[in-house]
Every structure is written in structure tokens, then in C-alpha cells.
Amino acid sequence: MKKDLGVLPAVYPMPVLMVGTYDENKKVNVMNAAWGQICDEDKIILFVGEGKRTWLNIKSSKAFTVALADEAHIDVADFFGIASGNRMDDKFERTGYHAVPSDKVNAPIIEEFPLVMECELLEFLHTDHVDGIVGKIVNVKADEAVLNEKGKVDPKKLNAILFDQFQNGYYAIGDKVGSAWNAGVKWMKK
């Protein structure tokens, strides 16, 4: 029997996305954003409120990067979610991490995170109920260490972390338990 839990954000898992931006002076800022998702083959949406440092930077630069946080960098990924770029001027510098300019968009790539999407701003969404930033993914870069022998990202090597909104935890991705577009094929044949 199910028990009522009330209203809560009950989607699990959530990605742990590191959103990299430049301000008008090319100063690096990184935000931990769990509320984001792919919304088309070449588009991503981030649910970031107007006025946040990341929102302001994207408005100015028209670009951003999105890296997947991994278990090896969980402490800094969490810090990027705790600290506000609006209140902490040296947020990125405190970590000792390294940023290089993207060669595709006007945004930084954080070298420590093994996979990054380079994105151009498509639009800001603002309704009575949601604020979002939609970006076009123009390129994806990955460290060779997270690729398999066919040059594709290997989730086990990537070791991306997930966010749990139920207990405010981070979890590593486990073993593959099925194949997409295959596990349910037997019902197609009835």
C-alpha cells in the first residue's frame, strides 16, 4: 500500500549539471544545476531563475557550457551549488580548478569535469510558473579516459553523479540493467 507523502519534487534521478559562464569581463562562474534536461536532439533546458549570476552571464554572453559532474569532483560540484556567484566574488578561484575558453561558444570549459556540452543561447522562457534557459548544443567534448574502444562515452568510466531530492544525496551510477529500445521489444510482437 502506498503512503501519501504530500507535494515534493519526486523525480529521481536528477542530473548534476555544472553550468559554466563568463561575465562581461570574462570572469568564470560555475553553477550546480540539478533542474535541467535534454529537450531535443540538440537542445538543453536549464531551469535557472532570473537574476542569478548564471542567468545574468548567459544574457550577456549568449552562451554557456554544461558539464556532467562526476564522483571524483563531488566536493567542488557541491560547492558550486552552495555558493552564489552574486555573493561570492572568488567562487571559481577558490576551487583551484582550471577553465579554458571553448573554441565553439563564448563560455568556459572546466577542465576537471570529463564531459562538456558547448551551448549557444536560443531563448529565455518566462511564464507565471517557470523560468528556463534553452540552449542549442553545438558540440560535445569528452576526455578520452571516459570513452570506450568505439569512441563513445562509457557511463561506467564517466562515473557521473546523480542528485536525490528525497534525501539531498548524491549517488554514483551503477551497472547497466537493460538495453533501451530492446528491453520492451517482446510486447511489440503480440
Q: Which domain holds residue 41?
A: 14-189
Type of residue at 136:
K
Residue 133 has pLDDT above 90, yes or no: yes
83 is a domain residue: yes
140 is a domain residue: yes
Task: List all residues 6 or more positions away from 58 whose beta carbon is below 8 Å from its beta carbon.
Answer: 21, 48, 64, 121, 133
Domain count, the chain: 1
Read off the pLDDT of residues 164-178 as tens digits, 9 standing for 90 and up.
Answer: 989 999 999 878 888
145 is a domain residue: yes
Read off the pLDDT of residues 72-88 as tens digits, 9 standing for 90 and up.
Answer: 999 999 999 999 888 99
144 is a domain residue: yes
6 is a domain residue: no
23 is a domain residue: yes
| 4-8, 68-72, 142-146: range with lowest mean pLDDT | 4-8
Q: Cβ of 177: how many Cβ atoms within 10 Å?
A: 6
52 is a domain residue: yes
85-109 b/e (C-beta count within 10 Å ≥ 16 → b): beeeeebbeebebebeebebbbbbb
Read off the pLDDT of residues 20-72 as tens digits, 9 standing for 90 and up.
Answer: 999 999 999 999 998 999 999 999 999 998 889 999 999 999 999 999 999 99
For residue 39, what pLDDT is reported?
A: 94
When pLDDT is cut at 50, 70 and 90, the band that residue 189 belongs to is: confident
9 is a domain residue: no
When pLDDT is cut at 50, 70 and 90, the band that residue 188 belongs to is: confident
- CATH number of the domain that residue 181 is part of: 2.30.110.10
